Amino acid sequence: MLDPIIELQDLTKKYDQFIAVNRLSLSIQKGEVFGLLGPNGAGKSTTILMMLGLSEPTSGSVRVCGINSTREPILVKQKVGYLPDDVGFYEDLTGYENLIYTAELNRLSKEEAIRRAKELLARVGLSDAADKKAGAYSRGMRQRLGLADVLIKQPEVIILDEPTLGIDPAGVKELLQLIQRLSRDEGITVLLSSHHLHQVQQICDRVGIFVQGRLLAVGDVSALSRQLFAEDLFILEVGVKQLSPDLIEQLMQIDDVTSVKQNNELLFISCSRDLTGEIAETIVRSGARLTYLNQKQYGLDEIYHRYFERGEVK
Amino acid sequence: MKAKLISPFWVMVRKEMADHMRSWRYNLMLLLIGLTCLGSLYTAMMSIREAVPKDQTLNAFLFLKLFTVSDGTLPPFITFIGFLGPLLGISLGFDAVNSERNKGTLSRVMAQPIHRDFLIGAKFVGALILISMMFLSLGFLVMGLGLLAIGIPPSAEEFLRMLLFLLLSIIYVGFWLSLAILFSIKFRQSATSALSSLSIWLFFSVFFTMLIQLIANATAPVNATNPNDILQHQQFIQVIMSLSPSQLFSEATTTLLTPTVRSLGPLTLEQVYGAIPSPLPLGQSMLLIWPQVTGMIAATLVCFGISYAYFMRQEIRSR
């Protein structure tokens, strides 16, 4: 745990007056799968560009594999594979030719390039489509070819920007499993950015939540949500007719219910464990009519909102 | 083992060339220029008989006439190159960078361990190599056909003059190429950059001469009695004329291919007096057009330099 492969210190990027990344400090260990979570425009891509030396930080420093990315981008790019979001390929070349081209730009010998391209195409499941023009590839295929493209230089770190964007659920699952296998089998460090918590939490060892250029929290997913939602892990949305004020009182009496909010005929009940049964029973016994009951799941949205609330309280 | 590896720069150049050669655009331009070149060669051969001077002193440069004479139905070869060359340069360069950006390949290529300037360098060099190949082969084709048709072999000097003419044409097209690449970096849409380059080309090839006419008429000395005034005015017009790259090109190539051209500016009667009406040697012709050549190279380098500076500072975002 003492071997950070990506180290960001007080990294800041300003565009005129707009602060895209604000004093970001983060270190990622070797072999880790790290998820950078945040809404669009949070500064995820900007951070990634700075790691690759494609964009210059206003202040602060980036070290990847012990190399300063701003000073020595070429050395960093030899060791880091980067898959941009919505990756593009040369459309009149085949998938195979695209890979060979990337291999040659990485100074691989012809034989090595051919061998690795074939092996990787098989690995990402594109052997059949290898001789098809890349222009005819579907979005999911492009993303898988992108993964092969990143791996052809045998990187120590791969950085994936929104790898799951625009792919169907089956494709997402497949891609994520592929990424996980890579990290496990070859010890490659993976940094991926996304705005889908539930997709990323399946494979990430740790995630960082990144909103408006600031890193709000870092940790593994379960610890993060336990820490965030310690008091009200569950929210029930209940539709009730003929509601009496007593009922709200009664609901508040139930153990582990932390708050009840009313909005016309809708009640929002937060509780620290699953109390759906008890709450339904209470409502029915009070003589009110239960019309609808829904247990809400926490998405990334709620996490952001939660953090915003806290941020403003501070 | 190490020696077998090609530098990534040449890998990129090779890919650029392969892309162009497979493209419709390049092949259409090749066809167009090839056809006009054969057409102008045909008219030149039809009219070369009249171009042979009656006295035997000047027919030494008959071979060069293949490039310059015409019977009026089709313009001669140098006019065609002057007209179509810019179009070729623009068509090879106008979407060099922005198409990569729009297809999302730019950020992927930039994430490879290569210097950033490799990309525009490779775009420029790749296209320039293709242009050189096209011009040299067309030039030699014209020479070969001309040799077969008129049966007089070119002298060494004629051959050198023709080579220099081809080289000048390549530099001239290189200027338009680098201008188009500059616009392709500046504008996100390839249509915008194509139209901007074309409008500059149209401006210089059509409107610029009209504009010069206007300025010349407006600034002409009122009472043209003082020869110094007239001379000054003439020189002033020449200075603004030379702002146009097509003007530089046509002055330079005319001088090269017509050795009898002795000066590009006005000559007074005293200067002409006593001169022997003989063609200039190659060295003297080169001296005469040196400013034009320098101007063209400088314009190319300025365009490329601006593109370079602009591209290095641009942020590479995906799409």
pLDDT for residue A313: 38
Query: Could you give the 3-state DSSP secondary structure of residue A44?
Result: helix
Q: Does A160 touch chain B (CB under 8 A)?
A: no
Are A220 and A238 part of one and the same domain?
no
Using an 8 Å CB-CB cutoff, list chain B residues near A45.
317-318
Q: Please give the mean pLDDT across all residues of chain A.
A: 84
- CA A277, A278, A284, A289 torsion: positive or negative? negative
Of A227, A256, A285, which residue is a domain's last?
A227
Answer whether A221's CB lies under 8 Å from A204's CB.
yes
In a domain, A304, yes or no: no
Q: Phi and psi of A33, rounded to 5°?
A: -105, 115
Compare all CA atoms of chain A with the CA of B315 and give the residue at the minimum distance.
A55
Are A24 and A155 part of one and the same domain?
yes
* Cβ distance of B319 and A107 shorter than 8 Å: no
Are A221 and A263 part of one and the same domain?
no
In a domain, A15, yes or no: yes
Answer whether A266's CB lies under 8 Å from A239's CB.
yes
Express each pLDDT in B146-196 by its tens digit: 888 878 788 888 889 889 999 999 999 999 999 999 999 999 899 999 999
Highest mean pLDDT among B169-178, B219-228, B257-266: B169-178
In a domain, A302, yes or no: no
> Residue A261's pLDDT band (boundaries 50, 70, 90)?
confident
Q: Which residue has the higher pLDDT, B214 or B49?
A: B214
Q: Give the one of B105, B107, B113 whose C-beta lies nearest to A90's C-beta.
A: B105
The whole-angstrom separation of Cα A233 and Cα B175 is: 67
Q: Does A81 touch chain B (CB under 8 A)?
A: yes
* Cβ distance of A54 and B15 shorter than 8 Å: no
The whole-angstrom separation of Cα A194 and Cα B186 is: 31
Q: Per the structure block, which two tokens stand in for A145?
A: 């070819």
Of A227, A261, A288, which residue is a domain's last?
A227
Q: Does A1 touch chain B (CB under 8 A)?
A: no
DSSP string over B9-69: HHHHHHHHHHHHHHSHHHHHHHHHHHHHHHHHHHHHHHHHHHHS-SSTTSGGGTTTHHHH-
pLDDT for residue A312: 45
Of A227, A242, A277, which residue is a domain's last?
A227
In a domain, A149, yes or no: yes
Q: Is the pLDDT of residue A169 over 80?
A: yes
Q: Is the pLDDT of residue A121 over 70?
A: yes
Q: Give the distance from CA B81 to its chain's centroid.
A: 7
> Residue A301's pLDDT band (boundaries 50, 70, 90)?
low
Q: Which residues contact A119 (CB under 8 A, 6 or more apart)?
A: none
Are A205 and A292 part of one and the same domain?
no
> Residue B268's pLDDT band (boundaries 50, 70, 90)?
low
In a domain, A305, yes or no: no
What length does chain A have? Answer: 314
Using an 8 Å CB-CB cutoff, list chain A residues near B111.
52, 54, 77, 80-82, 84
pLDDT for residue B1: 41
In a domain, A306, yes or no: no
Among A104, A110, A149, A157, most B C-beta atoms within 10 A, so best to mutate, is A104
Are A218 and A240 part of one and the same domain?
no
* Cβ distance of A153 and B112 shorter than 8 Å: yes
- Nearest Cα neighbor of A80 from A106, A100, A99, A56 is A106
Give the range of the structural domain holding residue A137, as residue numbers without chain letter: 4-227
Residue type, A243: L
Q: Does A111 touch chain B (CB under 8 A)?
A: no
In a domain, A185, yes or no: yes
From residue B231, give the alpha-carbon distance in Å to each of A234, B226, B239, B297: 94, 9, 12, 28
Q: Does A55 touch chain B (CB under 8 A)?
A: yes
Q: Which residue has the higher pLDDT, B190 or A308?
A: B190
Are A208 and A254 part of one and the same domain?
no
Q: Which residues contact B276 (CB under 8 A, 6 or more apart)?
A: none
Q: Provide the domain count of chain A.
A: 2
pLDDT for residue B51: 66
What b/e readout covers A202-221, taking b as 16+ CB neighbours within 10 angstroms? ebbebbbbbbbbbbbbbeeb
In a domain, A310, yes or no: no
Q: Is the pLDDT of residue A223 over 50?
A: yes
CATH number for the domain that contains residue A102: 3.40.50.300
Query: What are the residue ranges spanned by the domains of chain B?
Result: 7-313
